[in-house]
Structure 1
Amino acid sequence: MRGILRLGVLGLFLGIGSMFLAACEDKPVDPIVLPENFTWTVDYSPGVKGKVTINMKANKANYFTAIFKDKLGDFTVESPAASYTFAAEGTYVVVLRAHASAAHYIERVDTIKIEAVTLGDGYSTPTSYSGYNLAWADEFSGDALDLGSWGFDVGNGSGGWGNNESQYYTSGTANCVVGNGKLTITAKKESQGGYNYTSARILTKGKREFQFGRIDIRARLPKGQGIWPALWMLGANFGTVGWPKCGELDIMELVGHQPNRVHGTAHFGNNSPSTQRTATYGLSSATFADAFHVFTMKWENNLVEWYVDDVKFHTLTPSNTGGIYPFNEKFFFIFNVAVGGNWPGYPDGTTVFPQQMDVDFVRVFQKI
């Protein structure tokens, strides 16, 4: 009887196993359908040297990415029309992917040849002026950031640096590199420190601080919804009196959904929020991402003037600040690319990452 019972139980388990296998066979897993007929074209911009756009097509593709392998690092652009601007001549590799999903794609490799690229695209200013001495300059001619002049702000600050910004600022070369005769600050869509974007914010606080002079900064700016590049200064007494009492001079700010307009602003006041005086300069055609422009601030006792490409568009004196005027003291530089915030808004489906701000030089001239 015991032998018959064991055989009966065994038969029961075999029957259940057969039913389970049959059930599994009735529900096959759908295979991943990879894209097909992947084609692309490479278009060289006639107006911006070094700029290429790769237009990609494929059947059954959900999206496309292009990885541009520049000398400064890899830059990934998610778009069927992926654009990137190389800063130096040479032959570069680009990896192209047509995606069914993030993990399932077909990949092709192409090469891009850039010839006779210089930083001569756009406006420039001289290295000397009559009646002025060059007090300090950074031409970004080496292969690393000069840490004797610059430091990093790291993290997301207090309340997103007071503006509800969405990026995490890093130190080192992850988002800030020097090479090919320029400084490049790159905003990326990647997670760090609990935030969805990274970027860099460098400053000369405690290292290079100035009172008065002509300041020229030659830069090419990023663009896109939620992108916020800035070239600006804070009063050197920020650490003791705080903001806005220390004063803030925004030599250039741009909100990415208006890529043909820049703003020059002074912030001041005894308490937050600040009082501000601002003005805007616009391009009649093209954008500030298409070529280099020179952003100038002429700064004297009781006078600040803002210029783009030697065209004045804003003036500040004690007469239009209500008597509060912290701008006759020493200030330090801050260069950054923010992502998101109260003013620019936040990235959306139209925003392409990464976004770069390239700075050719910063020069400070002071009267003899």
Structure 2
Amino acid sequence: MTDRSTVWAVTLLLASTLAAPAAGAQPPGPPAGYRLVWADEFDTDGPPDAARWSHDTAHNKTGWHNHELQYYGSPADRNAVVSGGRLRITARRETPSTAPDWGGQRYTSARLLTRGLAEWTYGFFEVRAKMPCGLGTWPAIWMLGSGGRWPDDGELDILEHLGSQPDRVFSTVHTAAGSGGHGVGGAQRLPDACTAFHDYQMHWTPEGVAFAVDGFQHFHYARLDAGPRPWPFDKPQFLLLNLAIGGDLGGPVDDSALPATLEIDHVRVYQKP
């Protein structure tokens, strides 16, 4: 889920074959010696906890990155709601034409982030979620550098999913030194991504970043210091949760598939003491 000040096309250089999880594999906990430092279990019904999450609506008027089609709502719009122990981010076919920052969109959704509230350097990140599916949906669980300079501060895409490829999930790394606007990553086949919850995980250390689903690793990105721009992942990053509609990767939208909901059971961050 690349993030830019201007709209660019997205190119992902994914693994040529899909990884397949080992039969009977059990989701492991965090690495030995790590402790829980931040979490949201979504156990209080209502809007997302304002002490943990803010709503990003900054580009509604001008249009969002990657030619996406959604308008991202505020807490009052109820596109992101906690109920029954889960966060539900819902995309709808509706036109919020009375909103002062409306940019002509015909779809609404939500984009939550921890920027300014919680940021981390290194750790084990786990988000248990169920994908929305529906042609044109593009959910993402990801991180951006707190410095606000893309791609110099780096981007870590823990999980992305496309409604046009419902049985496949993928993870991507963006850096100025390594790949710039072209993501480098890996994919995993997950036939029940839209019907079951899975643990989407990332282990970020000074030596590299590993991505997994239910403990099965499908991509590892080793530290790279190349050229005049250093490895960016030694600085804080914040977490984002969003459900985009359409765009360069989301593709054509099936309006009959909406509303569609990304469900999140928990978000947990572990670090070494």
| TM bin (shorter chain) | 0.7 to 0.9
Residue equivalent to 1:295: 200
**1:48-107 alpha-carbon deviations (Å, 9 max, x no partner):** xxxxxxxxxxxxxxxxxxxxxxxxxxxxxxxxxxxxxxxxxxxxxxxxxxxxxxxxxxxx
Distance 1:321 1:170 in 2: 39
Distance 2:178 2:269 in 1: 30
Distance 1:268 1:199 in 2: 28
Change over 3 Å in CA distance of 1:127–1:303 after alignment to 2: closer
Distance 2:30 2:213 in 1: 18
| 1:137 and 2:43 matched | no
Change over 3 Å in CA distance of 1:279–1:247 after alignment to 2: same
Residue equivalent to 2:51: 148
Give the letter for the 1:359 counterpart: I
Checking the alignment, whether the CA contact within 8 Å between 2:174 and 2:183 is kept in structure 1 is: yes
Distance 1:154 1:294 in 2: 28
Residue equivalent to 2:212: 307
| 1:277 and 2:217 matched | no
Q: Which structure ranks higher in relative contact order (CA pairs < 8 Å, sequence separation ≥ 6)?
A: 2
| 1:226 and 2:129 matched | no
Distance 2:146 2:260 in 1: 30
Residue equivalent to 1:340: 246
Checking the alignment, whether the CA contact within 8 Å between 1:296 and 1:307 is kept in structure 2 is: yes
Checking the alignment, whether the CA contact within 8 Å between 2:139 and 2:162 is kept in structure 1 is: yes
**1:262-291 alpha-carbon deviations (Å, 9 max, x no partner):** 1100111179962421110112xx331110
Change over 3 Å in CA distance of 1:337–1:307 after alignment to 2: same
Change over 3 Å in CA distance of 1:362–1:269 after alignment to 2: same
Give the letter for the 2:55 counterpart: F
Cα RMSD (Å): 2.4
Give the letter for the 2:57 counterpart: V
Change over 3 Å in CA distance of 1:280–1:271 after alignment to 2: closer
Distance 1:157 1:324 in 2: 33
- Matches for 1:104-253 after TM superposition, within 5 Å: 130-144=32-46, 145-154=48-57, 156-157=59-60, 160-173=63-76, 174-192=78-96, 193=102, 194-238=104-148, 242-253=149-160
* Secondary structure in structure 1 of the residue aligned to 2:64: helix
Displacement of 1:211 after TM fit?
0.7
- How much identity, in percent, do the aligned residues show? 40
The structure with the greater share of residues assigned to helix is 1
Distance 2:70 2:58 in 1: 8
* Secondary structure in structure 1 of the residue aligned to 2:117: coil
* Secondary structure in structure 1 of the residue aligned to 2:52: coil
Checking the alignment, whether the CA contact within 8 Å between 2:177 and 2:225 is kept in structure 1 is: no
Checking the alignment, whether the CA contact within 8 Å between 1:124 and 1:294 is kept in structure 2 is: no
Checking the alignment, whether the CA contact within 8 Å between 2:123 and 2:272 is kept in structure 1 is: yes
**1:280-329 alpha-carbon deviations (Å, 9 max, x no partner):** 0112xx33111000000001013100000100010111249777421121
Distance 1:127 1:343 in 2: 32
| 1:326 and 2:236 matched | no
Distance 2:192 2:61 in 1: 32
**1:197-223 alpha-carbon deviations (Å, 9 max, x no partner):** 000000000101001111110000111
Checking the alignment, whether the CA contact within 8 Å between 2:157 and 2:171 is kept in structure 1 is: yes
Larger radius of gyration, structure 1 or 2? 1
Give the letter for the 1:160 counterpart: G
Q: How many residues align?
A: 240
Distance 1:343 1:228 in 2: 7
Q: TM-score, normalised by structure 2?
A: 0.81
Displacement of 1:124 after TM fit?
8.5
* Secondary structure in structure 1 of the residue aligned to 2:65: helix
Give the letter for the 2:233 counterpart: F
Checking the alignment, whether the CA contact within 8 Å between 2:201 and 2:212 is kept in structure 1 is: yes
Q: Which consecutive residues of structure 1, in runs of 5 or more, have no partner in the other structure? A: 1-122
* Secondary structure in structure 2 of the residue aligned to 1:210: coil
Displacement of 1:331 after TM fit?
0.4
Distance 1:124 1:356 in 2: 26
